[in-house]
């Protein structure tokens, strides 16, 4: 429910009294030996997001009510494995959210004594780990994007939470550990762009110093293969024949970054019309972003792809896709001022991306898209296929779908967090920030959108401010002020 202030003004006195009781419950008493009354209580507030027209995200915040050591607020679209915004009355009916909350509550059980964790710090750590998406942390190198409330600072406070964090390693489970004998002949990539079109059981070597030169120090990787079981990524100080950690000298240990990959929503995989026929490129279901700091001290990167025979359980996807690229984030950044955004309602802003463009396109809006939503559209203009005879545009688009994966957009909002929009060919981008209010969060007046688009294709990106959506958002946000 709303925490900061009530939606009906008549309940203002009641809410202020309840919030004051919360504040007093976390204050220490006169005696320094006594604990606060609510020291063992953890509070997590989940807001509905842009589709919750009853309770705005900023009203669900716990700022000044519950200390950050005992709780936090998260938007529904920022919850791990959840990418939908939902109406207030039906938030508990959302299957994505219900499943994730159920898994979170089950994770509160200590596997040793099979009892719930008694330590409030342990519970906050588990809540943060299970509910908060790691996407904002992956985008922390972008301007105006800060990591979500991380469990790192929580784990440093107490020994119990620190033990949980140490157990949360980046290595894949031993059950999916690969051996070097399971990989075919290695491939050595000479371009800053690497492409995987099949589960071929090969390991690809990338020279970080060579391919990441000329300002291309960042690395992005998108795929529809399952991390650990379908694809694994390692950083190496130097080349070594084996990928088994125990066979590498201690001074030259490799580091696995597979578990840093972030899951994103993906549409259904394209089906083959007949066996052996070519299918459309599937949408990505996970991505990885590595900054120069993440790769510092390492000279090589390997991308190991499993063979289809090694996948157990459910069958592998009909079409496999993975694209990686070393890129310069400055080349793919566009800043739009308030004037340009307003003018786009009459004359759309257009950005042309040529082939071999940076896979990560950063759009920085100086005005919040919660106040002025923008219609974002991407149209494929080419994919290295020349027109043959009287080839029509539709045939060209179909051919390009066989080569390029559907674009994905990630919009960052300082209040409700991340909003993921898969298969974004034409979509109105809206966030749930509330700028121009006295209690608005810092950075609420800005919005950052990251678009992941296949560098094998060229695109025409069109941006148009939606006056209709802006009008409805304005009355929704400020009619009650």
Q: Are strands 333-336 and 360-365 parallel, antiparallel or unpaired?
A: parallel
Q: Is the dihedral of CA 338, 339, 342, 348 positive or negative?
A: negative
Strand-pairing partners, residue 255, are 235
Going by DSSP bridges, is the β-strand pair 322-327/426-429 parallel, antiparallel, or unpaired? unpaired
Residue 273: per-residue pLDDT: 53
What pLDDT is recorded for position 394? Answer: 59
Q: Around Cβ 294, how many Cβ atoms within 10 Å?
A: 17
Q: Starting at the edge strand that comes first in sequence, how are the strands of the sheet with 374-382 ordered?
A: 349-353, 458-465, 374-382, 426-429
- DSSP-assigned letter for residue 311: -
Q: Is residue 219 within 8 Å of 295, Cβ to Cβ?
A: yes
**Could you say which residues of the chain have pLDDT below 70?**
1-7, 29-33, 140-171, 175-184, 240-252, 267-279, 309-318, 386-396, 416, 433-444, 477-481
Cα separation of 35 and 26, whole Å? Answer: 9
In angstroms, what CA-CA distances link 139 with 133, 259, 448?
11, 16, 10
pLDDT (0 to 100) of residue 52: 81
Q: Residue 251's pLDDT is what?
A: 45
pLDDT, tens digit, 9 for 90 and up, residues 82-129: 888 888 888 878 888 999 999 999 999 988 889 999 999 999 999 999
pLDDT of residue 462: 94
Nearest residue to 351 (alpha-carbon basis) of 419, 445, 453: 453
311, two tokens? 């996948």
pLDDT at 148: 46
Give the span between the Cα atoms of 414 and 271, in whole angstroms: 38
Q: How many CA atoms lie within 13 A of 327 on its CB side?
A: 26
Determine the pLDDT at residue 152. Answer: 43
How far apart are alpha carbons 166 and 155 in whole angstroms? 9
**String of b and e for 53-64 (b: at least 16 CB within 10 Å)?**
eebbbbbbbbee
- The residues, any chain, with a CB within 8 Å of residue 50's CB and separated by 6 or more, are 77, 85, 370, 416, 419, 430, 431, 432
Please say whether the beta carbons of 14 and 5 come within 8 A: no
C-alpha angle with apex 149: 174 to 41, nearest 5 degrees?
Answer: 95
* 267 in Cβ contact with 276 (< 8 Å): no
Residue with tokens 């906050």: 124
Quote the CA–CA distance of 255 and 199 in Å, as a whole number.
Answer: 23
Per-residue exposure over 352-386, b if at least 16 CB sit within 10 Å of its own CB, e if not = ebeeebbbbbbbbbebbbbbbbbbbbbebbbbeee
CA distance 393 to 201: 36
At 380, is the secondary structure helix, strand, or coil? strand
Place of tokens 């042309």: 352
What's residue 300's pLDDT?
Answer: 94
The Cα–Cα gap between 311 and 244 comes to 19
Report helix, strand or coil for 40.
Answer: coil
Q: Is domain 333-478 classified as CATH 3.30.70?
A: no
Provide the 10 A C-beta neighbour count for residue 196.
Answer: 21
* Pairing between β-strand 458-465 and β-strand 349-353 as defined by DSSP bridges: antiparallel
Q: State the pairing for strand pair 43-47/71-75.
A: parallel
The structural domains of the chain, with segments of one domain joined by +, span 9-167, 180-327, 333-478
How would you class 247 by CB atoms within 10 Å of its CB: exposed for 0-12, middle for 13-18, buried for 19 or more? exposed
Under 8 Å between Cβ of 197 and 320? yes
Instruction: State residue 465's pLDDT score.
Output: 92
CB atoms within 10 A of CB 268: 7
Could you tell me which residues come within 8 angstroms of residue 381 by beta carbon, excluding any fewer than 6 positions away? 352, 457, 458, 459, 460
CB atoms closer than 10 angstroms to residue 195: 16
Residues 6+ apart with CB under 8 A from 344: 336, 374, 463, 464, 465
């Amino acid at each position: 429910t709303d925490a900061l202030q009530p939606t009906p003004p008549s309940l203002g006195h009641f809410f202020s009294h309840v919030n004051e009781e919360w504040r007093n419950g976390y204050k220490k008493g006169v005696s320094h030996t006594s604990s606060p009354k609510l020291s063992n209580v953890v509070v997590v507030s989940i807001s509905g997001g842009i589709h919750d027209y009853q309770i705005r995200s900023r009203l669900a915040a716990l700022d000044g009510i519950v200390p950050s050591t005992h709780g936090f607020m998260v938007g529904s679209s920022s919850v791990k494995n959840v990418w939908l915004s939902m109406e207030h009355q039906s938030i508990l009916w959302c299957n994505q959210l219900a499943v994730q909350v159920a898994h979170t509550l089950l994770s509160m059980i200590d596997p040793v004594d099979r009892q719930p964790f008694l330590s409030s710090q342990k519970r906050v750590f588990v809540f943060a780990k299970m509910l908060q998406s790691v996407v904002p942390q992956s985008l922390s190198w972008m301007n105006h994007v800060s990591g979500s409330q991380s469990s790192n600072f929580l784990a440093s406070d107490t020994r119990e939470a620190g033990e949980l964090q140490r157990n949360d390693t980046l290595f894949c489970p031993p059950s999916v550990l690969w051996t070097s004998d399971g990989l075919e002949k290695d491939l050595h990539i000479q371009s800053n762009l690497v492409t995987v079109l099949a589960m071929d059981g090969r390991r690809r070597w990338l020279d970080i110093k060579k391919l990441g030169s000329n300002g291309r120090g960042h690395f992005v990787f998108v795929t529809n293969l399952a991390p650990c079981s379908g694809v694994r990524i390692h950083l190496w100080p130097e080349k070594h024949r084996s990928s088994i950690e125990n066979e590498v000298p201690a001074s030259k240990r490799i580091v696995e970054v597979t578990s840093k990959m972030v899951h994103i929503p993906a549409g259904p995989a394209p089906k083959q019309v007949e066996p052996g026929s070519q299918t459309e490129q599937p949408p990505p279901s996970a991505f990885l972003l590595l900054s120069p700091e993440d790769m510092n001290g390492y000279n090589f990167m390997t991308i190991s792809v499993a063979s289809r025979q090694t996948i157990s359980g459910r069958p592998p996807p009909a079409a496999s896709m993975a694209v990686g690229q070393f890129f310069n984030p400055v080349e793919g950044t566009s800043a739009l001022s308030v004037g340009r955004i307003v003018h786009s309602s009459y004359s759309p802003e257009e950005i042309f991306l040529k082939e071999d463009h940076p896979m990560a396109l950063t759009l920085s809006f100086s005005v919040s898209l919660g106040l002025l939503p923008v219609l974002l559209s991407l149209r494929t203009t080419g994919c290295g296929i020349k027109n043959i005879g009287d080839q029509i545009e539709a045939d060209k688009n179909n051919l390009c779908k066989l080569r390029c994966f559907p674009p994905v957009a990630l919009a960052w909002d300082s209040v409700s967090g991340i909003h993921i929009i898969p298969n974004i060919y034409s979509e109105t981008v809206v966030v749930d920030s509330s700028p121009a209010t006295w209690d608005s969060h810092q950075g609420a007046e800005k919005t950052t959108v990251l678009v992941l688009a296949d560098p094998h294709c060229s695109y025409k990106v069109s941006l148009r401010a939606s006056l209709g959506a802006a009008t409805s958002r304005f009355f929704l946000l400020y009619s009650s002020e």
